[in-house]
Chains A and B, each alone.
Chain A
């Protein structure tokens, strides 16, 4: 097959066992991703976006498990792998850019050593010298001076830490990079630099990228496609332009309008009031999770399970109220 996607996620449902019973963190998530493309997952805290990222790395917490679905990278079904096989794939096939402000770097080891560790895990035949050269090249790539290789994380600024984390993610030349809130703790100028870096590597190295963020602006800058999530469900998926120009789901509309823009005529105040309280993903009836807060909801929305409606070949939405205009 000529244009086979690198990543194929099918009907992924992830459940956490908690003391209060099982909680569905992600339900029936489907998407594909080709090399060199980027998809953004947006949604509020607790909507399940990070859970999906962790599942792709095979790093769900102990109480989390995949109830159904498949994650296929190239020809490999991630969920069927043994632990050692999965470990061998991690970082080489799929790497992760963590939010550096959240201590993604170990404070007691030198930054360079932490990157070298990743390289030596996956290329054990590399000499110390060769590994060192690779690390230096990675530092050049993300614009950190080479003389900072032997510094410790606490000697770095926030932006440098984030760039070091990116260098680490690139160290084993992965096919897929998952960036979980890559710029959340950074100021806008550094944020812009980091996003440009991610974008550049995605294009230059033909890496597929998943950007997880609550900030729809960040996603729109880097991504080709956007997936909007609410309470563990994908509710809208489409090309960036489509979702931005003609958001279909009432939640997406509210989310977009909360991202302030000067020429917005939408009465976002009412919707912001509606979405201020972000409930955990614990209540999940079959019906639309947003029905309680939706301005357009009627009785049907509370009882009927919504089905996907296609607005175009690439744009789909999970809402009963959306009118598909063209067909």
Chain B
């Protein structure tokens, strides 16, 4: 009951934030130098053609009419046509967005889970040789430059050892086969997914592990840990049932924060692995002044980050009853 009210409240907040983002995007694109028309004009066009184009795009109307039109189009799911691809933008987005979500949410969830699990264990054996080794190794990993380690892992695992494909998300030769089953497709994607996933996890797990470790060390000092021990619980019960749920809370917060960054940094990762995601598409669209595509990419990335944060909030409230205000 309380949780439901909280979810409702947060959803409304997210809608408001999204509306502000939409408005901000509109303003930004109108402030940006250059205009879409100049991108579409070529030498064969007469000035009348250009005027007609301006009219078609609605650029001759007052700004607020354009804004309303922009909102109307958004809610109708009409994002225009990509200049570069000549296809509806929504088609391109619906191809790219799932690839990004698949890679980054899986990587974030796996890294957070691994970090929580390892951090919990090494904090419990604080000061031992394992603690020192893992802590230093995690520090090292979390400072690695992702594209560098990505290139290195492609060179080694894909090129030298040949365990994984070099790039991309699917093997086109396989997918053109007429009666390819679901499992064959899934296996192919998984095969392509593993290497970028591994690389992202190597870099991200370290950070989560360090947060969990220090949070766990703080939690161990709490009085309810003494209570749990006094009750006669085993060390494992105390650790997993009393210390870890409290200690994991800062990790959840940091997952929420890092999601926004992972989509940004994701553009680099996607480029290195030729992963057909939305981050790479966004960079392409911006550098080629493909306005409709860039705008829609921004919108959907914002939407994904907002929804992910909502999920993180719900998870946090689920784990910490004090948050369910």
The interface of chain A, by Cβ under 8 A from chain B, is 57, 59, 87-92, 95-96, 98-99, 102-109, 114, 117-118, 121-122, 152, 154, 168
Contact = CB atoms under 8 A, between A and B. Distances in A.
B320 A118 contact: no
B224 A91 contact: no
B246 interface: yes
B96 interface: no
A95 B230 contact: yes
Contacts of A118: 231-232
Contact of A98 (B223, B319, B320, B321): B223
B44 interface: no
> 4 nearest interchain CB pairs?
A90-B232, A106-B224, A152-B321, A118-B231
Interface size bracket, B side: 20 to 34
A64 to B, nearest CB: 13
Interface in B196-227: 222-224, 226-227
B245 interface: yes
13 contacts: A91-B232, A92-B232, A96-B227, A98-B227, A103-B222, A104-B224, A107-B224, A107-B246, A109-B241, A121-B233, A121-B237, A122-B232, A168-B231
A118 to B, nearest CB: 4
B229 to A, nearest CB: 6
Interface in B106-147: none
B76 interface: no
A200 to B, nearest CB: 22
Nearest to B126: A62
Interface of B: 222-224, 226-234, 237, 241-242, 245-246, 319-322
A107 B322 contact: yes
Contacts of A102: 223
Contact of A107 (B226, B231, B321): B321
A103 B232 contact: no
A154 B227 contact: no
A106 B227 contact: yes
B230 A152 contact: no
A108 B249 CA distance: 10
Contacts of B242: 106, 109
A108 B227 contact: no
Contacts of B223: 98-99, 102-104
Given A98-B230, A154-B321, 12 more contacts: A59-B229, A96-B230, A105-B224, A105-B227, A106-B224, A107-B321, A108-B319, A108-B320, A109-B242, A114-B227, A118-B232, A121-B232
Contacts of A103: 222-224
A90 B231 contact: yes
Contacts of B246: 106-108
Contacts of B245: 108-109
A117 B231 contact: yes
A303 B233 CA distance: 47
A89 B232 CA distance: 7
B230 A108 contact: no
A90 B230 contact: yes
Nearest to B242: A106
A104 to B, nearest CB: 5
Contacts of B226: 59, 98, 104
A103 B223 CA distance: 6
A215 B236 CA distance: 37
A246 B231 CA distance: 39
Contacts of B321: 107-108, 152, 154
A88 B232 CA distance: 6
A87 B224 CA distance: 16
